[in-house]
Amino acid sequence: MSQEAIRIIESSLTAGTSKQYRPYINKWVKFCEDRQVDPTTAQTTVGIEFLTCLFHESNVRYSAINTARSALSLIIDPVSGLSFGSQPLVRRFMTGIFKLKPALPRYVSTFDTNQVLCYLNTIQTSLLTPVKELSHKLAMLLCLLSGQRNQSISALDINFMHLSDTECMFYIPTPLKTTRPGHHLQPIHLKAYETNRNLCPVTLISTYLAVTAEFRGDCSLLFISPKPPHKPVTSRTLAKWCETTLLMAGINCSIFSAHATRSASTSMAQSKGMSLADINKAAGWTNSETFARFYGKPIIRNFGEAILT
């Protein structure tokens, strides 16, 4: 194939996935060179031997071996219409790896969003509030009220925003992790919360835009750094802001990461009676299985505190 065709095929992987696969692909090529085997036509058993070497030499966990399996599935030609990772022997091998080193979920429950909202309510939505505090408050509130990843929140663009006194609508103009042909994230719709203006997302967005207007310049992304030179923040920076807010709210960040806000908010929505169809639509999932397997968690509540509240 031409270099241009190869470049287009390589573009099917995100930058993050390519970075994740590259070390294992390099090791696989070296492994095949030492054994004088073509890395693209190697037999399934050779691939399993490679994964075995990774398991023993590096003492890695199940997730790393599974990543290597996915990387090899891109390289090794399919056999009988099945990719390397889908071969019955490989699947049995991965089951054995899981038995030897179980890949347990990071957490089996999630935090109570009320605890975080109570903390956010202590930060005033005001033009006099430091921009750093407003930034952290808005980032956390949008994560909780949208059920979205930090990547989606960091991509919010005021040029694709409709803001009024009663609602705020964001249209996402860039491809996201879940974007694929025929499927893209639905607009993020936020409604004004008249009951408590201090926790109203519409009021907070308007205030944040007013405070950052003086140093925003021509930057159209919603979130920008409060420190000079006031560049747009990355999803990783946004995650750090959220983890800082969780910590200030009394959430154990050694257990719950910034991504846990997605599980906490959708689980709370389910506990309050929202249908799975509406939860899937808001979070960008195409079926209920994703929510049930990875995000639907029981909410941690203290029994005695619940009685007193």
Report pTM.
0.73
* 107 lies in some domain: no
Same domain for 230 and 121: yes
Last residue of a domain, one of 100, 121, 144: 100
Same domain for 166 and 72: no
As a whole number of angstroms, the distance between CA 94 and CA 62 comes to 8
Per-residue pLDDT of the chain (309 residues; tens, 9 = 90+): 899 998 888 888 877 888 899 999 999 999 999 999 999 999 999 999 999 999 988 778 888 999 999 999 999 999 999 999 999 999 999 999 999 888 766 666 788 889 999 999 999 999 999 999 999 999 999 999 988 888 889 999 999 999 999 999 999 887 777 666 766 678 889 999 999 999 999 999 999 999 999 999 899 999 999 998 899 999 999 999 999 999 999 988 878 888 888 888 888 888 888 887 887 777 776 666 666 665 667 666 655 555 445
Cα separations in angstroms, 1 against 5, 9, 113, 117:
6, 10, 52, 55
Same domain for 187 and 140: yes
Same domain for 296 and 253: yes
Same domain for 122 and 239: yes
Same domain for 270 and 149: yes
Same domain for 228 and 117: yes
Same domain for 290 and 171: yes
Same domain for 96 and 180: no
CB 172 within 8 A of CB 155: yes
Same domain for 137 and 39: no
As a whole number of angstroms, the distance between CA 133 and CA 8 comes to 43
Same domain for 178 and 79: no
Cα torsion through 76, 82, 85, 88, rounded to 10 = -130
* 108 lies in some domain: no
Assign residue 7 the CATH number of its domain: 1.10.150.130
Same domain for 270 and 211: yes
* 106 lies in some domain: no
Assign residue 161 the CATH number of its domain: 1.10.443.10
The pair of three-digit structure tokens given for residue 168, joined into one six-digit string: 């705020």
* 18 lies in some domain: yes
- How many domains does the chain divide into? 2
Residue length of the chain: 309
- Per the structure, the complete domain to which residue 63 belongs is given by 3-100
* 105 lies in some domain: no
